[in-house]
Amino acid sequence: MSSGVGSTERNPRAGAAFAGAGAGTSLLEVTDLTVRFDTDDGTTYAVDKFSFTLGRGEVLGIVGESGCGKSVTMLSLLSLLPPTARVSGRALFDGFDLLSASPSRLRRIRGREISFVFQEPMTSLNPVFTVGRQVGEVLRRHLGATRADARRHAIELLDLVRIPAPERRVDEYPHQLSGGMRQRVMIAMALACDPKILIADEPTTALDVTIQAGILDLMRDIRDRLGTAIVLITHNLGVVADIADRVVVMYAGRKAEEAPVEELFAHPQHPYTIGLLGAIPRRGVDRLREIPGIVPSLSAPLDHCAFAARCPRADELSWTEVPELRRVRPEHLVACFHPGEEGTV
């Protein structure tokens, strides 16, 4: 692992054609990922045969409503779910199956090869230690850095995530920083070991809008400078439009639609995607459209289209069979019996 944190030599993977979404060898290849939770209340089918790939240096957006299985999908890859979870499928990371990895092997991958940034910057830092120590802890754990080295690298990392006056901030406690600053610290921690994949789970949801833009800008910059592949989990298509190369829309634990970002925004096929796009605030649109109804309970395996109850296009077929993914354009997949842009169906 290179030690030149924050320096320009640190981006051996940068410069490649990142926009070549999904093409070539993929860094992460998830096949038929299925996650169930066996609880006293019965079984919840959280994720159902979900497959996706992530290319090197690619930014993949995973979009969906709360409870659609976005976070569960990513947490399951590193066995970060509670013990009630039953995970099956395959997740090849650089050719190595994460789902059958030993706990100690996983611990070495977590935070070093694949790292997480969570939604709650206000509570994701330990209140009793300075931010410098917390960033340094990751370096010391994974790279065996000395205390002095860790501190120096921590300052460089805080600078990398554009925290002003990092020499002073490094000795401050989390409660002295604002939410946006704390999220930057979390990103610095996640980037400490130059991971190949950064998984950001709703990184901007808890922040106000101006700060959101700054964080997204930072993530884009990180991809460009360090070549880190990013998985951005969000319920907000607007956020995805800003920085993702490719988007996967999830609904009720399944993939509803997948396409490069421009394609998805220009030619959305799945009625759910169209519904989500209608819910983005835009100038000139007086009233946001909502998607009627709620996300279905996942207490039984689906035997029909999960979106049928909320879908204007639902017909008898939707209620009797589960739609398989089909390719409508070379890089555009959709799981719907009646795909098509609004007004064409």
Partner 1 sequence: MSYVDTAASDVLSPRARRRRLRRRRLARRPFAIAGFVVATIFALAAILAPWVAPYSASATDFNAVLAHPSSTHLLGTDELGRDILSRIIWGARASMQAGVLATGLAMAIAVPVGLVAGYYRGWVDPVISRLTDVLLAFPFLILAVGLAAILGPSLLNATIALGVGAAPGLIRVARGETLALREEDYVRAAVANGASDVTILFRHIVPNMASTLLVQGTVTIPAAIIGEAVLSFLGRGLQPPTPSWGVMLADAQSYLSQAPRLAVYPGLAIFLCSLSFNLLGDGLRDVLDPKTTR
* Binding region for partner 1 (CB under 8 A): 78, 80, 107-112, 115-116, 118, 120, 123-130, 137-138, 141-142, 162-164, 171-173, 175-178, 180-181, 186, 189-190, 210-211, 214
Rounded to the nearest whole angstrom, what is the least distance from the CB of residue 217 to partner 1 in the complex?
A: 10
Q: How far is the CB of 164 from partner 1 (least distance, A)?
A: 7
Is the distance from CB of 62 to CB of 235 less than 8 angstroms? no
Q: CB-wise, 78 or 240, nearer to partner 1?
A: 78
**332: phi then psi, degrees, rounded to nearest 5:** -120, 115
Please identify, using beta-carbon distances, which residue of 214 and 278 lies nearer to partner 1.
214
Residue 125 CB, shortest distance to partner 1, in Å, is: 6
Considering the complex, state which of residue 229 and residue 334 has its C-beta at the smaller distance from partner 1.
229
In angstroms, what is the minimal distance from the CB of 23 to partner 1?
Answer: 29
Among the listed residues 297, 243, 307, the one whose alpha carbon sits nearest the alpha carbon of residue 269: 307
- Number of neighbours of residue 303 by Cβ within 10 angstroms: 9
| Contact status, residue 2 vs residue 194, Cβ threshold 8 Å | yes
Ranges of beta strands (E only) in the chain are 26-39, 42-55, 59-63, 85-93, 96-97, 114-117, 197-201, 229-234, 246-251, 254-260, 326-329, 332-334
CB of 225 to partner 1, least distance (A): 19
CB of 126 to partner 1, least distance (A): 5
Nearer to partner 1, 197 or 291 (CB): 197
Residue among 182 and 332 whose Cβ is closer to partner 1: 182
β partners of residue 31: 90
Helix 147-160 and helix 179-191: axis angle, to 10°?
A: 120
Please tell me the distance from the alpha carbon of residue 169 to that of residue 159, in angstroms, as a whole number: 10
| CB closer to partner 1, 39 vs 299 | 39
CB of residue 130 to partner 1, shortest distance in Å: 7
Q: Which is nearer to partner 1, 21 or 193 (CB)?
A: 193
Q: What is the largest CA-CA distance in the chain?
A: 67
Which residue's entry shows tokens 């924050």?
A: 6
